[in-house]
């Protein structure tokens, strides 16, 4: 991988979940490069969304592959992303995106391999879910 390559990221979800998550990241770390939010409208056709997903992946792919972070496993955004794993662009898919996952992913992708970025996303997502216990 060349030094100027970075893993692209597509955040996808229902309603305005994806654009909201990316907006929160921008408040915290600034506007990241090679990242796009893809929102699924309430009555959008899955095939049309799949085509938009393919365009989004192509728009952020700069040679290092693309991580697609979706809100729910098994739903339309996830399924559209999984279909793209069978294409020419290397694509990894992680479902259950949360803000800690997205922030850590965006901060750790420069010069990293796509599989490592996907692993970071999964770990950060899990570690970002905590339960506060007043006596613990």
CA atoms within 13 A on the CB side of 60: 26
Question: What are the pLDDT digits (tens) for 66-99?
Answer: 999 999 999 999 999 999 999 889 999 999 999 9
User: SS3 of 32, please?
Assistant: coil
pLDDT (tens digit, 9 = 90+) per residue, 35-45?
999 999 999 99
119 CB-near residues (< 8 Å, 6+ apart): none
d(CA 66, CA 7) in angstroms, rounded, equals 5
User: Could you state, in order of their start, the residue ranges of all structural domains in the chain?
Assistant: 8-127
Decide: 87 and 110 in contact? Cβ < 8 Å. Answer: no
Look up residue 125 and give its two tokens: 């997502």
Kindly calculate the radius of gyration of the chain based on its CA atoms and give it in whole angstroms: 15
- What pLDDT is attached to residue 87? 82
- Fold topology of 8-127: Rossmann fold (3.40.50)
The whole-number average pLDDT for the span 17-27 is 98
């Amino acid at each position: 991988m060349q030094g100027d390559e970075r893993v692209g990221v597509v955040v996808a979800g229902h309603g305005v979940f994806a654009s909201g998550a990316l907006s929160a990241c921008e408040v915290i770390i600034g506007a990241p490069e090679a990242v796009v939010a893809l929102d699924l409208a309430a009555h959008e056709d899955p095939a049309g969304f799949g085509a938009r997903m393919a365009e989004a992946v192509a728009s952020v792919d700069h040679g290092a592959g693309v991580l697609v972070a979706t809100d729910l496993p098994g739903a339309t955004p996830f399924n559209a992303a999984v279909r793209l794993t069978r294409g020419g662009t290397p694509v990894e898919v992680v479902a259950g995106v949360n803000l800690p996952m997205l922030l850590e992913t965006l901060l750790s992708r420069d010069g990293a391999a796509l599989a490592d970025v996907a692993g970071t996303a999964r770990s950060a997502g899990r570690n970002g879910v905590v339960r506060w216990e007043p006596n613990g």
